[in-house]
Structure 1
Amino acid sequence: MKKLTAFLLSLTISLFSYSTDYDLVIVGGTPAGITAAIAAAREGKNCLILERTGYIGGLPVNGLGATDIGTRGSTTGLFEKFVNLNKEYYIIRYGEKSSQVRDCSDGYHFEPHVAAMTFGHMIETAGPGKISILTMRQFDSEQRYVKMKEKRILSIRVLNRKTGEEEYYSAKMFIDATYEGDLGAAAGVPYRLGREGADEYDEPCAGRIYRWWKHGPDDEGTTYQGDNAVQAYNYRLCLTNQPENRMLVAKPAKYDREEFASLVDDVLSGRNTDIAFRKATPAEMELNREKVESGERTSAPGDAWGMAKLSSMTRLPNAKTDANNQHLAFISTDLPEENWPWPTSGWDWRDRYAERLKSYTLGLLWFAQNDEALPRHFREACREWGLAANEYVDNGHFPRQVYVREGRRLEGTYFFTANDALPVVKDSRPPVHPSSVTASHYALDSHAVRKRETGRVHLDGFFSYPSAVYTVPYGVMVPKSVDNLLFPVPVSGSHVGFSTLRMEPCWMALGEAAGVAAVLAIDNDVTVRDVSYNLIQQKLLRYGATLIYFKDLRNTDPDFALVQQLALKGFFPEWDADLDKPLDSATAKLWSDLSGRKIESDGKTKRRQVLPLLNHANQKGESTLK
């Protein structure tokens, strides 16, 4: 930790500057902001990251240690490097056969301080001297803090939270890597908030919805109407059940028992939101109550016990967990409704909400561990868990950053909906975007927007809906009218479409693509809309990114890059590339039609061997968004 602190301080103590020496200024030290800087720095550009807090790294450094990704290998590039470095750390530190290496799950599961060290190493080795980081720099999302000339941002004004002084930073290109979309909104980029109705884009789970967990069905109260509701935020807690590293929470000063009282009946009756509980009768709930009151554990279908009743925990190395909201519960670490103003509020309001959420979260844990209305054996099970004492040592062992799942969704040249992540026909790919800058995969997934309501089977807004590995078009982070801005985090899409894009692996990949696009815009003296996405793709592929996913092809294959480019043009429509299988007649015809040259199948020649004949088709056309 001392080495990490010294490294971060060395990054922060850059010469204070108002100069135009920066090629790229990035607002937000999130993982996407970091990958954007790395991608630009490795191309020789001078980058500045402005971060409001005292630490960079966003949510992976603040408790989100169980990577949210549906298909491993679908997103690579700098994200893959991050994962591999995590695994490498545990191997070097503990040995290849250690429990820590096993629990890191190939680097996809990691402790918060390890994520911080990994990001630090990635920055340090990206482009020596090319990345400056200034922490405690606050950008306020107001038009007067952005100086523009016609359609270009010239400079931005930030508050130095250490000195109270205002500072100005100018650059050739800017990136909004905030979770809220603060810079884009201040620069005049239109944005969306809340939920679209189901009739607007014909999306599953759109609008007001009450759905049994995990995949429905929808139940009483569902209207699918749009509204201004924003999905809940929480803190991703790093908990442990190891006594030597466990810190039990203290009762917070603003504790309100009534906020948590409904948990008592849920524990006794076994009530939960799982589809398995759907057919539970009042008699069965009463029987569960009698069992629990007599000292037994719950036997209600779908029900959890102890800390798992109020927090979904994924194991991390060193007996720690990523403790998220419990989706099967009516009351957990999410705090719906109260966060709705966050996306467009100033930092004074956000800071008050962050403290309110912290107090609520600690109050919930204290209630579960101490309130005598709960069964003794339930409280004892909850007291097995506490905050990890060796994480966030300067913040009471509590995460420093709120999990902002969704803020403003800035409007780009492409608007991503659920239909971009769903198969066109059963078992097929979703629509393939020729301008793809990453493949990605996670379910359509949203947390609640309202607190508990009497008679509802779940909290309004909670859903998970299966998707397939999809492609993400460049246009989701490209504004229609600002020439030198990209926004890889507050991307363009509907509430449901955004609900799958909003995972850190996808954001990191989009950050890397944004950094590449910024370099190309500078070098070619063009707007972000006029950058050739073919050139973006070529650079990304050179660094091991995946633009379209194949089940049987990895980025170590010598023909990977060419197949990726051809697949985005329609040459490989299936999930498998089958490069070492003989070319069949149907594929030969498809390739002939797409390439404009005669490709024949003899039943012996492998598909891989034909690739050189297709390369000329891959070179056609330098495409932009215009």
Structure 2
Amino acid sequence: MLAFAVCWQIPGTAAIKDSYDADVIIYGGTSAAVTAAVQVARQGKTVLVVSPDKHLGGLSSGGLGFTDTGNKSVIGGLARDFYHRVYMEYDKPEAWKWQKKEEYGNKGQGTPAMDGKERTMWIFEPHVAEKVFEDFVKENNIKVYRNEWLNRAKGVVKKNGRIVSIKTLSGKVFSGKMFIDATYEGDLMAAAGVKYHVGREANSVYGELWNGIQPEVFQHGHHFKKNISPYKKEGDPKSGLLPYVSAEKIGKKGEGDNKIQAYCFRMCLSANPDNRIPFPKPEGYDAAKYELLARVYKAGWTETFDKYDPIPNKKTDTNNHGPFSTDFIGQNYDYPDATYERRKQIIKEHELYQKGLMYFLSNDPAVPADVQTEMRKWGLPKDEFKDNGGWPHQIYVREARRMIGQHVMTEGETLGKQAITKSVGMGSYSLDAHNAQRYVKADGYVQNEGDIGVHPKTPYSISYESLTPKKAECQNLLVPVCLSSSHIAYGSIRMEPVFMILGQSAASAAVQAIDAKTAVQDIDYEKLKTQLLKDKQKLVFE
């Protein structure tokens, strides 16, 4: 499928930059963007991917190799094909460069890493995932415009309730019949004038239990289990607060706020001396920033390496763990609506914080000797993220904007208390929210808040109408990543396999809307369902 590029010049003026046209324009470079593009191409329509990212796959190729699988039986379509292709990559002897296949083990998250019967592999290295996404693109002749950033101020042209074109900061104009916002931030959605929410709704808004502020609720253990003073001089409020502790008084249980769960980088680490870059001392390093962690160690904490989850070739997918970890709590509140410049600053702050943390763990005398000794064995892998010094190219945007669309997915539906009639895919992971704030309790000790992990009894369906804006706001846009969901329901939906599923389903809906010459809100769901089932998507739990 080829799209057309046109370059024109008005007499007496400089040349206007290229304009590009396709049936479907996809904005984003995430795993959802790739599956959406593949689906459009396979259904005979033209498609262009306009990606602010240089690397395709988002978190799936950005360090999150220890897949949040949930119940793998409800992962179908192109998502399952992705994990099958990963399996096929690791079926090649040359894939096992640093480790014998039989030495790897088979640890996965809720499922074995390698499923020989289903020929799927759920745990993988970043470069393998990126290769699979690039293979998808090449096989389907999909044109991807990389490092193209939407002009959020005046780059979206709408007419009669429909997006006509989008313009990037480089001056390129992309026109289409249908548009899909597959970014983690929802920038196209927002620029198109679609209503959205940032932060946690009060429980009263959607009749939920786990959405709003959750003081003294600890469901993953990422909290201070012993009394730790948050003050520079222990026990002395007059000395001031340590870094990264909020002076804001915590709200009441169940109230809403503008806070979002913490971000981090999912570091890929290696303890292989032949494939390891030692942790350097980052610019602006200050050990005082990690004093709170020093006090946690002093209190007897011993769980440093509990989330060094193994991926092939003696590497890890290292996630946050404990009361003070790679999650940079409270430092991302303005990210969703921030300018590109401010976002880059926030991302850099997260990078320096996390690199500083690793240097602190490896070198500071306040860290137990056994932890230091073990940490010095670890480093960034030489053979991952080669153009970024081994550091992931994608920050873990666990949550940003969330559309307020035709239907809002809520806790009740994810927990099976309410039914969905227009399913376009399924989720099954726990309602997983990371800490949103670190505050001082009334007794003068520090605590984290926002860490929720509630497990659905069975997988649940996701509504088509959660991918579509209200018709009055936009008629030709689908949003499979920043979809319409409450904060706590999004905590379950926001998993990479689900994003791939919803990206593919959104693409099928876009194609049907083009064929029917109708708004995305008005397509025939039964026809869409037929296509989804043909593509082996899972719509209901059996």
Same fold (TM over 0.5): yes
Residue 538 (str. 1) matches residue 530 (str. 2): yes
- Gaps spanning 5+ residues in structure 1: where? 1-10, 161-165, 272-302, 425-430, 551-626
Contact 2:439 2:446 in 1 (8 A): no
What SS does the corresponding residue of 2:510 show, helix, strand or coil? helix
State the shift of 1:456 in Å.
Answer: 6.2
Alpha-carbon distance in 2 for matches of 1:89, 1:223: 48
Query: Which residue identity does 1:187 align to in structure 2?
Result: A
Return the offset for 1:155.
0.5
> Quick one: distance in 1 between partners of 2:416 and 2:48?
40
Q: Deviations over 1:198-233 (max 9, x none)?
A: 222232222111322338999998622111111111
Q: Does residue 105 in structure 1 map to residue 114 in structure 2?
A: yes
Which runs of 5 or more residues in structure 2 are unaligned? Answer: 8-16, 108-112, 116-120, 226-249
| Residue 133 (str. 1) matches residue 131 (str. 2) | no
Could you say which residue in structure 1 is the equivalent of 2:310? 315
Report the Cα distance in structure 1 between the residues aligned to 2:145 and 2:313, rounded to whole angstroms: 32
Aligned to 1:40: 40
Map of 1:200-599 to 2, 5 A cutoff? Answer: 200-210=205-215, 211-214=217-220, 223-271=253-301, 303-305=302-304, 307-308=305-306, 312-326=307-321, 329-424=322-417, 431-451=418-438, 453=440, 458-467=447-456, 468-480=458-470, 481=472, 482-550=474-542
Q: What amino acid is the match of 1:195?
A: R
Q: Within 5 Å, give how 1:77-156 maps onto structure 2.
A: 77-93=77-93, 98-100=102-104, 102=106, 104-106=113-115, 107-125=121-139, 127=140, 129=141, 131-142=142-153, 144-156=154-166
Report the equivalent of 1:61: 61
CA contact (8 A) 2:260 2:333 kept: yes
Q: Which amino acid aligns with 1:134?
A: Y
Q: Note if contact 1:445-1:465 (Cα within 8 Å) is conserved in structure 2.
A: yes
Change (3 A) 1:331 1:532: same
Per-residue deviation at 1:266?
1.1
What is the CA-CA distance between 1:247 and the residue it aligns to?
1.4
String of CA shifts for 1:2-42, please: whole Å, max 9, x gaps. Answer: xxxxxxxxx99x99884463011111010111111111110
Partners of 1:209 and 1:221 within 8 A in 2? no
Task: Give the distance between the partners of 1:479 and 1:469, measured in 2 at CA.
Answer: 25
Q: Give the conservation status (yes or no) of the 8 Å contact 1:140–1:347.
A: no
Supply the distance in 2 between the matched residues of 1:398 and 1:534 (Cα, whole angstroms): 45
Q: Which amino acid in 1 is paired with 2:157?
A: K
Instruction: Give deviations 1:311-370, integer Å, cap 9, x for gaps.
Output: x221101111111111xx221111122211110011100111111111100000000110
The verdict on how the C-alpha distance between 1:378 and 1:218 changes in structure 2, with shifts beyond 3 A counting, is closer
CA gap of 1:527–1:177, structure 2 versus 1, over 3 A, is: same
Alpha-carbon deviations, 1:591-612, whole Å to 9, x = none?
xxxxxxxxxxxxxxxxxxxxxx
Task: Give the 3-state SS of the residue equivalent to 2:211 in structure 1.
Answer: coil
Alignment partner of 1:233: what SS?
coil
Question: Given the two structures, how large is their TM-score scaled by the length of structure 1?
Answer: 0.74
Take 1:496 and 1:456, find their aligned partners in 2: how far apart are those partners? 27
Distance 1:506 1:380, change over 3 A: same
Mapped to 1, the partners of 2:482 and 2:251 lie a distance apart of 30
Match of residue 31 from structure 1: 31
The more displaced of 217-226 and 201-210 is 217-226
Per-residue deviation, residues 488-545 of structure 1 (Å, max 9, x unmatched): 0001011111111111111111100011001101111111011111111111111111
Distance 1:198 1:445, change over 3 A: same
Match of 1:183 among 179, 182, 188: 188
Indicate how the Cα distance of structure 1 residues 190 and 261 shifts in structure 2: closer, same or farther if over 3 A, else same: same
1:227-253 CA-to-partner distances (Å, cap 9, x unmatched) read 111111110000122221121110111
Amino acid at match of 1:535: K
163, 173, 180: which one aligns with 1:168 = 173
2:182 aligned with 1:157? no
Q: For residues 499 and 21 of structure 2, what CA distance do their matches in structure 1 show? A: 27
Aligned partner letter, 1:435: K
Per-residue CA shift, 1:437-472, capped at 9, x if unaligned? 012211001111113545568511111111131000
Identity %: 35
Deviation at 1:123, TM superposition (A): 2.2
Aligned mates of 1:536, 1:471 — CA distance in 2: 15
Whole-Å separation in 2 of the counterparts to 1:238 and 1:457: 30
Structure (1 or 2) with the larger CA radius of gyration? 1
Alpha-carbon distance in structure 2 between the residues aligned to 1:452 and 1:393 = 38
Counterpart-to-counterpart distance in 1, 2:355 and 2:220:
27
User: Which deviations, in whole Å up to 9, do the C-alpha atoms of 1:548-582 show, x marking residues without a partner?
Assistant: 122xxxxxxxxxxxxxxxxxxxxxxxxxxxxxxxx
By how many angstroms is 1:141 displaced? 2.6
Contact 2:50–2:146 at 8 Å: present in 1 too? yes
Cα distance in 2 between the residues matched to 1:359 and 1:15: 43
CA distance in 1, matches of 2:260, 2:427: 23
Which whole-Å CA distance do the structure 2 matches of 1:466 and 1:489 have between them?
A: 21
**Contact kept? 1:99, 1:317, Cα under 8 Å:** no
How far apart are the structure 2 equivalents of 1:456 and 1:195?
25
* Alpha-carbon distance between aligned partners in 2 of 1:414 and 1:325, rounded to the nearest angstrom: 32
Task: Please say if residues 236 and 324 of structure 1, whose CA atoms lie closer than 8 Å, have aligned partners that are also in contact.
Answer: yes
**Distance of 1:458 and 1:90 partners within structure 2:** 43
Report the alpha carbon displacement of residue 105 of structure 1 after superposing the two structures with TM: 2.9
Query: Deviation per CA, 1:267-300, whole angstroms, max 9, x where unpaired?
Result: 13225xxxxxxxxxxxxxxxxxxxxxxxxxxxxx
Give the Å deviation of 1:62: 0.7
Letter in 1 for 2:325: S
For residues 103 and 530 of structure 2, the distance between their equivalents in structure 1, rounded to whole angstroms, comes to 39
Change (3 A) 1:101 1:257: closer
Pair 520,18 (structure 1): closer, same or farther in 2 beyond 3 Å: farther
1:332 match: secondary structure: coil
Q: TM-score, normalised by structure 2?
A: 0.85
Q: Alpha carbons of 1:393 and 1:536: their partners in 2 closer, same or farther (altered >3 Å)?
A: same
Separation (CA, whole Å) in 2 of partners of 1:169 and 1:231: 33
Matched letter for residue 479 of structure 1: P
| Cα contact 2:438–2:447 (8 A) shared by 1 | no
- In 2, Cα distance between the equivalents of 1:332 and 1:215? 12
Q: 1:524 to 1:218 in 2, by over 3 A?
A: farther
2:403 is aligned with what amino acid?
A: L
Whole-angstrom distance in 1 between the partners of 2:224 and 2:327 = 21
